[in-house]
Structure 1
Amino acid sequence: MNWKVRLRNPVFWVQIVVSAFAAVLAYAGLTAADLTTWESVGALLCNAVRNPYCLFLVLSSVWNAVNDPTTTGLTDSERARQYTIPQK
């Protein structure tokens, strides 16, 4: 995979954070509107880290955000591996 380009792309990071946070919210049966204080966000994240099943859900969501389903195996396409910046 072309990690240099992915790690410098802010959209990649938003995708990772949103997919992980959505998995935690879904497991807890909450919506973003239920989180009205930073303490409740912290408690939610601490509980998620302590729960192996919730961690599995987070890892599955992150995997889906990272993996390119248009290629075989775990790599990017040959063209994508040649990028030095994200292509439009």
Structure 2
Amino acid sequence: MNLTVRIKNPVFWVQIIVGAFATALAYAGLTAADITTWGGLVDVIIGTVKNPYCLFLIASNIWNALNDPTTSGLKDSTDAKTYEAPKKG
């Protein structure tokens, strides 16, 4: 797997962050509009990190961001392994 290229791709990070944030909010029974203070956000993050089920859901989000559904298993195609940066359109 070409992790170096995935790490350079902003879409990868958006998938990870949005997936983790959505998991944390759902667990807390909140919406993004309910987070009105930094302290409230920190409390939600701490509650999520302490919950094994939430960590499992975040790991699932990471798996989905890493996995290329066009190849079998958890690997990239031969072409993708040669990329040094994300492929342009």
Query: TM-score over 0.5 for the alignment?
Result: yes
Deviates more, 1:41-50 or 1:9-18: 9-18
Residue in 2 that maps onto 1:58? 58
- Quote the Cα distance in structure 2 between the aligned partners of 1:50 and 1:32: 20
Residue in 1 that maps onto 2:39? 39
- Quote the Cα distance in structure 1 between the aligned partners of 2:43 and 2:10: 26
- Quote the Cα distance in structure 1 between the aligned partners of 2:66 and 2:28: 24
Q: Which runs of 4+ in 1 moved over 6 A?
A: none
1:46-85 map, 5 Å? 46-85=46-85
Residue in 1 that maps onto 2:20? 20
- Quote the Cα distance in structure 1 between the aligned partners of 2:11 and 2:77: 19
The two structures, once aligned, show a CA RMSD in angstroms of 1.1
TM-score, scaled relative to structure 1: 0.91
How many positions carry a matched residue from both structures?
88
TM-score, scaled relative to structure 2: 0.90
Measured after TM superposition, the shift of residue 79 of structure 1 is 1.1
- Quote the Cα distance in structure 1 between the aligned partners of 2:79 and 2:49: 37
Segments of structure 2 that go 5 or more residues without pairing to the other structure are none
- Quote the Cα distance in structure 2 between the aligned partners of 1:75 and 1:12: 15
Measured after TM superposition, the shift of residue 11 of structure 1 is 2.2
